[in-house]
């Protein structure tokens, strides 16, 4: 877990700092504790407050948090944001609400997934992985696992058309950064001739499993290890009695097609934005609460993504 930099236990309503991993880098963030829950603070044109780890927690009582933030004499944020986690997808709060799209695989059993939720192409790819001699199994976060992670991370500086956050990290850095949440994670590795060629770090969020990390070796992509990793992850979720497996956010790209073939569905969950200042109210009215990147229309963003992809690929040549 992230460790507080400030000494002692954080006081209710007081700001303190913590270390966390953000876009592959260890950074310090400001946080505030309200009602026994830690909320992170994002500063910029708007100061936004939200649960530090909202994949794994629900906001217990939003109105208590709203009142505490409004009454805090030293800290005046502009917005509070929070969402409802699966399977609680019907909006139940009166605040400004928008939809988040996430990739969800309902899990009844491994057999049901194999026979009814995936296409024959995926089943054939998993069989192909097995025939190639790839073994997928649960494992532990030991030095061998970390060495495998480090080797996969350092294969290429660019993945999926963008700079890869973990490229260039050494063994000790990887071991330290990815050991922070082991209390809630299960390791699954794909092995070929004793070499780890892919892995999943499956987070247990209580209501569902979460693919915090799933990645495989580029030089072994012909063996389709990611399909076999998903298969094993479904099996582990069944054993842990997790009703859903979530592959983070839905996106309209090649990864979305992979998710779809593996049985994931696009599910919308409500996210709320509560203005706490005049600036927060104005941002909601003009859509600025998502930041300038999200305000760009698709016809502008998509060509820019292609330019970014070509630029990164040119640096690899």
Residue-wise pLDDT tens digits, 4-23: 334 344 667 889 998 888 87
Residue-wise pLDDT tens digits, 39-96: 999 998 999 999 999 999 999 999 999 999 999 988 999 999 999 999 999 999 999 9
Beta strand 25-34 with 37-42: parallel, antiparallel or unpaired?
A: antiparallel
Q: Which of 96, 15, 99, 52 has the alpha carbon at shortest distance from 283?
A: 96
pLDDT band at 159 (very low <50, low <70, confident <90, very high): confident
3-class SS of residue 94: coil
Three-state DSSP string of 210-273: EEEEEEECHHHHHHCHHHHHHHHHHHHHHHCCCCEEEEEECCCCHHHHHHHHCCCEEEEEEEEE
Mean pLDDT of 258-285: 95
Within the chain, all domains assigned CATH 3.40.630.30 are found at 104-266
- pTM of the entire structure? 0.87
Q: What is the pLDDT of residue 129?
A: 96
Q: Is 108 exposed, middle or buried (0-12, 13-18, 19+ CB in 10 A)?
A: exposed
Domain covering 104-266, topology: Aminopeptidase (3.40.630)
Tell me, what DSSP letter sits at residue 219? G
* 101: β partners: 268
Mean pLDDT of 135-154: 97
Residue-wise pLDDT tens digits, 257-268: 999 999 999 999
């Amino acid at each position: 877990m992230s460790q507080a930099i400030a000494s002692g236990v954080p006081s209710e309503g007081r700001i303190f700092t913590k270390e966390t991993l953000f876009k592959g880098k260890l950074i310090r963030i400001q946080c505030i504790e309200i009602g026994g829950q830690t909320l992170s603070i994002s500063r910029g044109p708007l100061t936004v407050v939200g649960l530090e780890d909202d994949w794994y927690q629900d906001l217990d009582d939003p109105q208590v948090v709203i009142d505490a933030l409004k009454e805090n004499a030293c800290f005046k944020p502009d917005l509070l944001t929070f969402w409802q986690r699966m399977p609680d997808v019907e909006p139940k709060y009166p605040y400004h609400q928008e939809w988040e799209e996430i990739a969800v695989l309902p899990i009844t059993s491994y057999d049901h997934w194999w026979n009814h939720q995936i296409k024959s192409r995926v089943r054939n790819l998993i069989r192909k992985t097995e025939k190639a001699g790839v073994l997928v199994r649960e494992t532990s976060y030991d030095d061998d696992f970390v060495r495998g992670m480090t080797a996969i991370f350092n294969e290429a500086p660019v993945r999926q058309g963008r700079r890869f956050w973990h490229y260039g990290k050494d063994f000790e850095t990887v071991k330290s950064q990815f050991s922070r949440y082991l209390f809630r994670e299960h390791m699954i590795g794909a092995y070929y001739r004793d070499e780890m060629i892919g892995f999943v770090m499956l987070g247990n969020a209580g209501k569902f499993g979460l693919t915090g990390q799933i990645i495989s070796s580029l030089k072994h992509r012909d063996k389709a290890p990611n399909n076999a990793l998903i298969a094993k992850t479904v099996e582990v979720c069944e054993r842990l009695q997790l009703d859903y497996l979530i592959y983070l956010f839905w996106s309209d790209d090649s990864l979305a097609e992979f998710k779809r073939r593996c049985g994931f569905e696009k599910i919308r969950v409500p996210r709320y934005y509560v203005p706490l200042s005049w600036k927060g109210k104005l941002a909601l009215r003009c859509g600025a609460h998502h930041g300038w990147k999200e305000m760009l229309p698709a016809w502008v963003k998509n060509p820019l993504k292609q330019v970014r992809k070509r630029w990164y690929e040119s640096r690899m040549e």
